[in-house]
């Protein structure tokens, strides 16, 4: 199978490249194809003639999106439509990724795959637009939502560190840390999601929406407690409300991604342990 991975230098993209290594992999990032340029996307995908397109490219700066709406919409919103249309024309199946931030966050019990999105931030709106554009242009899609991705940072120039690595970095210079004890969602380990993506495309799964996070949910404070426990870091953690750190973008209070269509994933704590060891 010829697999085209877009966003191949990102946190998830580099894991996808590893997981599909025994297939013919085309690993593209920004310098190979700017996904916001419709003609470039159409021409290059047509030439590449893949069997499967996996789009893990995105604009992931949740707060930055509040002042860069146009850029967020172009990368997260319209570009997935260009890719979906090109994949469809090439006869390829498509994997696209989205986020828990498409949900409002007022449902404590969590959101199933068919729950209605209702985003409260520019980033969430742009990712929801990407979902809509994807399904508008192809029927052969697997749309996989995830949240709180962690793993090795991407290798691109603007690669961001995950929360896990940011906390480990902060712990080197602090003896106490305030961490938000709100915003409940499910951490997702990038290598686990890459494997799960392969299971979906190679398994007998229908096209449609999937929730691909690890099992379990936590606040940022609980996430950090686990990180420091595993690494035996003695920095004192202080749970604080979100209002202690005013940020431009609103966050969902509860955005647990309920998985009702895939086999149970391992817990985020197990995945975190593996990442940190
Ligand atoms: N990270 C999270 O916590 C999180 C949470 C929920 C959902 N997701 C979703 O999961 C997926 C994977 O995220 P990730 O964290 O692995 O992303 P990432 O590390 O930020 O990687 C995204 C990649 O896309 C590339 N890219 C950006 N704009 C592009 C463009 N115009 N043309 C071509 N490539 C472009 C980036 O290149 P540059 O480095 O050069 O910009 C980067 O290599 C995305 O759909 C994301 O929205 C992520």
* pLDDT tens digits, one per residue of 208-245: 999 999 999 999 999 999 999 999 999 999 999 999 99
Whether residue 122 has its Cβ less than 6 Å from ligand 1:
no
* pLDDT tens digits, one per residue of 119-174: 999 999 999 999 999 999 999 999 999 999 999 999 977 788 999 999 999 999 99
The rounded radius of gyration (Å) of the Cα atoms in the chain is: 18
What is the spatial distance between Cα 35 and Cα 137, in angstroms, rounded to a whole number? 15
Q: Of 183, 181, 177, nearest to 228 (Cα)?
A: 177
* pLDDT tens digits, one per residue of 1-17: 999 999 999 999 999 99
Whether residue 148 has its Cβ less than 6 Å from ligand 1:
yes
For 120, residues 6+ apart whose C-beta sits below 8 A from its C-beta are: 104, 105, 250, 251, 252
Structure tokens at 250: 């609103």
- Kindly report the backbone phi and psi dihedral angles of residue 200, in degrees, each rounded to the nearest multiple of 5, phi listed first: -65, -50
Question: Of 149, 191, 211, 257, which is best to mutate to test ligand 1, by the most ligand atoms within 8 angstroms of its C-beta?
Answer: 149
Residue nearest to atom 8 of ligand 1 (CA): 99
* pLDDT tens digits, one per residue of 25-71: 999 999 999 999 999 999 999 999 999 999 999 999 999 999 999 99
- Kindly report the backbone phi and psi dihedral angles of residue 248, in degrees, each rounded to the nearest multiple of 5, phi listed first: -60, -40
Q: What pTM does this model have?
A: 0.98
Average model confidence (pLDDT) across the chain: 97
Q: Residue 133 in contact with residue 88, Cβ under 8 Å?
A: no
- Model pLDDT, residue 195: 98
List 59, 97, 111, 123, catalytic entry = 123
DSSP sequence for 129-159 = HHHHHHHHH-SSEEEEEE-SEESSPPSSTTP
> Which ligand 1 atom sits nearest the alpha carbon of residue 154?
19
Residue nearest to atom 45 of ligand 1 (CA): 97
Name the residue with tokens 């019990």: 109
3-state secondary structure 207-276: CEEEECCCECCECHHHHHHHHHHHCCCCCEEEEECHHHCCCCCCCCCECCECCCCCCCCCEHHHHHHHHH
Catalytic residue flag (residue 123): yes
Answer with the residue of higher pLDDT: 186 or 156: 186
């Amino acid at each position: 199978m010829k697999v085209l991975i877009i966003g191949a230098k990102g946190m998830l993209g580099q894991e996808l490249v590893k997981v599909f290594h025994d297939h013919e992999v085309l690993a593209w990032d920004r310098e190979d194809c700017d996904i916001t340029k419709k003609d470039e996307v159409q021409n290059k995908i047509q030439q590449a003639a893949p069997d499967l397109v996996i789009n893990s490219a995105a604009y992931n700066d949740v707060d930055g999106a509040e002042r860069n709406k146009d850029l967020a919409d172009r990368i997260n919103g319209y570009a997935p439509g260009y890719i979906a249309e090109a994949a469809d024309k090439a006869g390829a199946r498509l994997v696209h990724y989205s986020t828990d931030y498409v949900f409002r966050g007022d449902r404590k019990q969590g959101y199933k795959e068919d729950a209605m999105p209702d985003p409260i931030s520019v980033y969430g709106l742009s990712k929801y637009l990407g979902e809509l554009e994807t399904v508008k242009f192809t029927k052969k899609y697997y749309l996989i939502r995830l949240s709180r991705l962690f793993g090795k940072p991407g290798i691109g120039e603007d690669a961001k560190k995950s929360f896990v690595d940011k906390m480990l970095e902060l712990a080197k210079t602090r003896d106490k840390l305030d961490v938000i004890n709100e915003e409940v969602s499910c951490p997702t380990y990038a290598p686990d999601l890459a494997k799960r993506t392969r299971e979906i495309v190679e398994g007998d799964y229908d096209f449609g929406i999937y929730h691909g996070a690890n099992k379990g949910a936590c606040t940022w404070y609980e996430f950090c407690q686990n990180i420091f426990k595993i690494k035996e870091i003695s920095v004192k953690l202080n749970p604080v409300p979100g209002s202690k750190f005013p940020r431009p973008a609103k966050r969902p209070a509860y955005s647990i991604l309920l998985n009702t269509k895939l086999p149970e994933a391992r817990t985020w704590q197990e995945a975190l342990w593996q990442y940190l060891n």
